[in-house]
């Protein structure tokens, strides 16, 4: 109905059982609100009571990564001058990410949405060039401890629980408890699980260093790239701690979206 209707070229780009995203190419936010209300009214009138479609919000700009994974600036009223940073399913709101990832990703996306590419690049350069000056808390992961694991499972929370039990059985995490850990630098060809340490272990042993290469290449950049894959931009990082190196291509946005 939406794709075949006269709604200024609007088309559904994602939908599930109770919602859908509609792209309005070339429309202003005010025009998107008008189109969204008309579609909501037409769909409601075409269905029997009590079925009702409601315009929830306009998102401009929007990055729709995949099902239930999106981020953008949302507006719930045509009178709002400033949007609200709105993220679902990505690392800025996921509990299994470390603070470094969520903080860097959110700020970079905010700058991207403002259209200030040079500020975003400078911000990333500053952050990724000063990892050794950041508090340990920025690098702490926190994963939930489950009731049982397969014997062959290679999981950080399982490893920490086994180490705690070997010291004192009363120190084993409760089921559902979140277990914190960091990733340290290991010997060449070390496995990731062998580099897992509890934060107190890292702080107590001054010979240990955080594995910045892992944090950037396996955590920060993949989360950024998943978002930036949907805009013509590529970021590369070299020389851990000492310097960042980025390559900018160009930026483009494709009109307003609304969420029904």
**Within-domain flag for 206:** no
What are 64's strand-pairing partners?
70
Q: What pTM was estimated for this model as a whole?
A: 0.83
**Within-domain flag for 40:** yes
Buried b (16+ CB within 10 A) or exposed e, 160-190: bbeebeeeeeeebbeeeeebbbbbbebeeee
Question: Which residue has 């975003």 as its token pair?
Answer: 120
**Within-domain flag for 101:** no
Contact 162, 179 (CB under 8 A): no
**Within-domain flag for 1:** yes
Report the C-alpha gap between 195 and 208 in whole angstroms.
10
Tokens of 187: 């010997």
Q: Which residues contact 21 (CB under 8 A, 6 or more apart)?
A: 12, 13, 14, 15, 62, 64, 70, 257, 258, 259, 260
Residue 248 has pLDDT above 50, yes or no: no
Question: SS3 of 221, please?
Answer: helix
**Within-domain flag for 244:** no
Buried b (16+ CB within 10 A) or exposed e, 45-82: eeeeeeeebebebbbbbbbbeeeebbbbbbbeeeeeee
Tokens of 234: 């590529």
pLDDT tens across 89-105, in order? 999 998 888 999 999 99
pLDDT tens across 80-136, in order? 989 999 999 999 998 888 999 999 999 999 999 998 878 888 898 889 889 999 999
What domain count does the chain have?
1
118: exposed, middle or buried (C-beta count within 10 Å: 0-12, 13-18, 19+)?
exposed
Range of the domain at 47: 1-89+253-260
What 4-7 contacts at long range (C-beta under 8 Å, 24+ apart), as own/partner pairs, is 5/39, 5/42, 7/35, 7/38, 7/39
Residue 14 has pLDDT above 70, yes or no: yes
Q: What is the CATH number of the domain that holds 63?
A: 3.90.1600
User: Vertex 92, ends 87 and 95: CA angle to 5°?
Assistant: 115
pLDDT of residue 247: 40
Tokens of 240: 């851990």
pLDDT of residue 244: 46
pLDDT-derived band at 252 (thresholds 50, 70, 90) equals very low
| DSSP class of 153 | -
What are 150's strand-pairing partners?
none
């Amino acid at each position: 109905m939406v794709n075949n209707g006269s709604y200024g070229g609007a088309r559904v780009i994602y939908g599930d059982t109770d919602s859908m995203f509609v792209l309005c190419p070339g429309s202003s936010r005010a025009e998107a609100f008008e189109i969204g209300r008309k579609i909501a009214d037409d769909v409601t009138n075409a269905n029997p009571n009590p079925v009702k479609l409601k315009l929830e919000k306009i998102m401009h700009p929007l990055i729709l990564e995949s099902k239930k994974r999106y981020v953008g600036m949302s507006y719930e009223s045509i009178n709002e001058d400033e949007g609200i940073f709105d993220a679902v399913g990505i690392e800025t709101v996921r509990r299994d990410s470390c603070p470094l990832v969520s903080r860097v990703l959110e700020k970079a996306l905010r700058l991207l949405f403002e259209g200030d590419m040079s500020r975003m690049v400078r911000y990333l350069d500053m952050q990724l060039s000063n990892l050794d000056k950041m508090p340990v808390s920025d690098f702490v992961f926190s994963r939930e401890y489950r009731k049982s694991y397969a014997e062959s499972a290679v999981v950080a929370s399982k490893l920490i629980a086994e180490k705690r039990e070997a010291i004192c059985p009363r120190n084993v995490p409760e089921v559902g408890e979140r277990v914190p850990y960091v990733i340290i630098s290991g010997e060449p060809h070390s496995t990731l699980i062998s580099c897992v340490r509890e934060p107190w272990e890292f702080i107590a042993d001054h010979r240990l260093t955080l594995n910045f290469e892992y944090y950037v290449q396996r955590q920060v950049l993949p989360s950024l790239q998943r978002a930036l894959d949907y805009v013509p931009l590529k970021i590369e990082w070299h020389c851990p701690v000492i310097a960042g190196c980025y390559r900018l291509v160009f930026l483009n946005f494709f009109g307003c979206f609304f969420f029904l």
